[in-house]
Structures are given as C-alpha cells and as structure tokens.
Amino acid sequence: MQLKADHGAIRRQLMLASCSLLGVATARAQQAGDAAAPVDTSEQTFESAISYYHEDGRITAIEPMVSLHSDDGNGTQHTLSAVFDSLSGSSPNGALPSSKPQTFATPSGSSLNSTAQTYTTASGQSTTSVAPTYVVDAGQLPVDPKYQDMRVALSALAQQPLRAFDRWRFGGTLSWEHDFLSLAGNAGYSRDFNEKNTTLSAGLNEEYDLLKPIGGAPVPGSDYSLFQKQGNKNKNGVGLQLGVTQVMTRRWLAEFNVTADRFSGYLNDPYKIVSILDAQGNTTGYVTEKRPGERLRRSAYLENRVAFDRTTVTVAGRYMNDDWGVHSSTLEANLRWWNPDHDRYLQPSVRWYRQSAADFYTPWILASTGNYSTLETADARLGAFHAATFGLKYAIKISRTGSLPGQEPSEFNVRLQVYRQDADQKRANPTALQDIELYPALRAVMLQVGYRFAY
C-alpha cells in the first residue's frame, strides 16, 4: 500500500483543508444561506414593457418596449432594445392665453387665413381646401389640438472585458420620428481597483440630430405670421462622463459621476412661438422662439444604495447647470421592501425637482420693446418650476423550474407614477389677462406593466 506521504502528512493537510472549509464558511455561509447557489453564468434575458402616459388635458402616449440582453458570464454582454412611442393629444405651442380667440396654423400651414382657398394646378384643374389652422377660444391655453407623433428608437450596447479588471463598452442609438432623426454613439472604459471595491469609468458620447419640421424650420425670432421657413436643420452634441463607484461597506454602495456636454446647431423647438402683448395685455402678434446656437451643460450626480436584509434604500441627488442660466437640482429616494421569501417587493419612490429659468425665458414679449429678434422662448420647459413625482412599483419574481435563488429569475412588475409640475417666479398678469391662468400646473400619470423573462 503506497501512501502519498507518511507519518501524518495526509492528516495534517486534511486538517488544514478542513479549517479553510469550515473556518470562513461559518461566518459567510450563514449569511449566504440558501440564497447563494451555483449560477450558470451565461444568461439571456428578454424584457418587455408597455407604458401609458397621460398629461391632464394634453398628451397621451403609449410606449411599448422590448429588449434582449445576453451575458456570457465572463463579462461579455450585448443588449438590443427597441422602443416605440405613439403620442397623441394636444401640445402647447408657447403662446399665451388671450382675452380674444386666437388663430394659429398647424405646422404644415403657411397662412393664418382660415377661409377656403382655391388652387389651380398646372394642368388647369382647381382644388379647394381649407387652410390648416386651428382656433383657440378666449382664455384657453393655446395648444395644437391634433398633435400626433410616432417615434421608433433602436439601441445596441456591447460590453467587452479586456483583462480581469477592466472593460470597454460601445453603444449606438437610432431614433426616428417623421420630423426628426437622431443618431448617437457612445464608448466607455471602466477599470476596477482595490479588489473590485472601487471602479473608475470614463465615457464619451456623440450625437447627431436632423430636424425636418413639417413645413420647414422657422427662422428663429421671426414674425410668426410671415412663415419664414428654412427647410431642414441639424444639431450636434458631444459629451463626456467620469464616474467612480465605491463599495463603502458590505451593505453600502456609493456612486458619483460628473458629466459635461455641449450641443450646437439649431437648438430651437420649431413648433414653439412667443406671444407679443401690448401694454394692456392684448395679443398683437407672435414671434418664433430663438435660442442660442450652443449649449454647454455640466452635472454632478451622487447615489447611495444601502441594502439591509429585506430592505434596500436608494438616495440620489443631481445638480446641473448650463450656460443658458438653467440650474436644476434633483433629489430622489426609493425604498424596496422584500417579502420574507424574497420573491416579491414593493417599491415606493419620491422625486423632487427644481430648476431656474433660462436667461432668455419670457412668457411673453411686450410690443413696446420693438425688437423681437433677441433671444426668447416661452417654452415652459425652460421656465422656472418645481416638480414632484410619487411612484409605487410592485414586482413578483417568478423562478424558473428548478432554478435557485442565486439565479436571476423572471419578473413581472407594475408601476404607477404621478407627476405634478408648478411654475415658479411667475410674472404678474397684464391687465387684460387678469383672470386667466397663465402658468397652468402640469399633472401627469404614468402606468407601466413590465415582464422580464430569463432563460
């Protein structure tokens, strides 16, 4: 009988091996318990969701989304996703309510004259049509009542490990609307330090947008009634992100990142106009909005996630400012409560947002200024406002037959969010508009149902 080693050598080595099996195992396996299990590291996930978004009295959107994700378990990941948006309803055109009815042209219109027009074609036939205009009643917020849009967005993302401690990612997005086309690409690099407790990452993204407004892009700051259009326009963006993710303790993860981006080109909303008022507040005309040809934005974001046995708390804040004079702060928090079996959770969330107005934001222009070609916008999204979002999400994890809790299970979830936005720094109403709400609050509700299938 040949023994590998004599005189207790096997026993001594076995004792050492037993110690490393039991020594640490006692401390760690206790907490891991049944939750840890072998995970087949390659995984494919199919995700789908449908959202319904409704703004009180304005837009309704239905947004289905599908996404495919594959992960080979060694760091190589691919994601393909498609989003389809269908918007309909009415969208504010930027003009103020007035004490008299107001007539506007739809984007395809070229005249504010609403009487029937007769055109004679080259072949001698004549056709009669009604100019595409809409009339807004006195006291009502001017909205384009037949606003309709569809958007299809496709995106792809690939992540590839280089070595055990670093990886690249590349991605691209194509977004298409009938009057808008956007192409974007991004690349990033991240590297782990400090036994993977620290991750530094850097990313660069580039975006190219083509605007093809119906009827052409208006000349910024031009008289609305003259319909000065200049065809298609474009804008470009480039951005940079730097981030650090740090494991603070076994239960606490912190993430901090800063971004800077710069957009240039035609940055106007081609469908937004600004009302011109006389000293009493009567509308005398409109001017197309005019924004600067460049925007430089900077932001900083901090997120903390703390996990307890059955609760995960996330608190995050973002500060952003740009050279248009917009400063914004966001604070958000959510709480995820798991049931004792860890197969269902309830996640209430709250988000608070506040922004200052762009330097050139003006809800109306006084006719007495005489000069309408300075920078101006009445787009409420560039005005001062604060907003709050309250959400509740409920999810059920559905384990695959024979799967263990360590594996990513399929999930069904439903989420409801309500949003309310109120304008700040309101200017006093002009006399003629004394009893009219010039800064209506925006209320919206979003309902989303999602299903993720892992296989």
Partner 1 sequence: MSLREPGLWAAQFSAMGGPCEALFHGVSEGEARRLGTMAAAEAWRIERKYSRYRDDSVIGTIHRNRGRDMILDEETARLVEFARECHALSDGRFDISCGVLRHAWHFDGSSRLPDPQQVAALLPRVGFDKLRWNAPRLMLPEGMEIDLGGLGKEYAVDRACEQLATECRCPILVNFGGDLRAHGTPPRGAWQVGIERPGQEESVALLLDLARGALATSGDARRFLLKDGVRYGHILDPRTGWPVVGAPRSVTVAASSCVEAGVLATLALLHGPGAEAFLGAQGARHWVLH
Residues of this chain that bind partner 1 (CB under 8 A)? 1-4, 6-8, 10-11, 13-15, 17-22, 24-26, 28-30, 32-34, 36-42, 73-74, 401-404, 406
Q: Are 215 and 224 a contacting pair, CB within 8 Å?
A: no
d(CA 169, CA 435): 55
Structure tokens belonging to residue 399 = 């384990």
Question: Closest CB to partner 1 among 74 and 284?
Answer: 74
d(CA 181, CA 209): 6
d(CA 75, CA 408): 16
d(CA 186, CA 206): 6
Question: Closest CB to partner 1 among 196 and 327?
Answer: 196
Count Cβ atoms within 10 A of the Cβ of residue 194 and give its class: 0-12 exposed, 13-18 middle, 19 or more buried. exposed
Question: Closest CB to partner 1 among 1 and 116?
Answer: 1
Q: At a CB cut-off of 8 Å and minimum separation 6, what does 7 contact?
A: none
Question: Closest CB to partner 1 among 41 and 374?
Answer: 41
**Nearest distance in Å: CB 307, partner 1:** 17
Structure tokens belonging to residue 72 = 């080979």
**Nearest distance in Å: CB 46, partner 1:** 19
Question: Closest CB to partner 1 among 19 and 204?
Answer: 19
Question: Closest CB to partner 1 among 22 and 279?
Answer: 22
d(CA 297, CA 362): 21
**Nearest distance in Å: CB 196, partner 1:** 14
* Cα angle value 208/212/215 (rounded, 5°): 160
**Nearest distance in Å: CB 395, partner 1:** 22
- DSSP lists the bridge partners of residue 449 as 50, 414
Question: Closest CB to partner 1 among 24 and 150?
Answer: 24
Instruction: Report the amino acid identity of residue 261.
Output: D
Q: At a CB cut-off of 8 Å and minimum separation 6, what does 219 contact?
A: 228, 229, 230, 288
Residue with tokens 């009827």: 215
Structure tokens belonging to residue 352 = 């608070």
Q: Are 3 and 10 a contacting pair, CB within 8 Å?
A: yes
- DSSP lists the bridge partners of residue 441 as none
**Nearest distance in Å: CB 399, partner 1:** 9
**Nearest distance in Å: CB 27, partner 1:** 10
Question: Closest CB to partner 1 among 17 and 260?
Answer: 17
**Nearest distance in Å: CB 37, partner 1:** 5
SS3 call for 214: coil
Q: Are 136 and 96 a contacting pair, CB within 8 Å?
A: no
**Nearest distance in Å: CB 160, partner 1:** 17
Q: Are 54 and 106 a contacting pair, CB within 8 Å?
A: no
**Nearest distance in Å: CB 33, partner 1:** 7
Structure tokens belonging to residue 176 = 């298409």
Q: Are 345 and 364 a contacting pair, CB within 8 Å?
A: no
**Nearest distance in Å: CB 164, partner 1:** 12
Question: Closest CB to partner 1 among 261 and 408?
Answer: 408
Report the DSSP pairing between strands 198-211 and 273-277: unpaired
Rg (CA), the chain: 29
**Nearest distance in Å: CB 72, partner 1:** 8
Question: Closest CB to partner 1 among 22 and 135?
Answer: 22
Question: Closest CB to partner 1 among 14 and 350?
Answer: 14
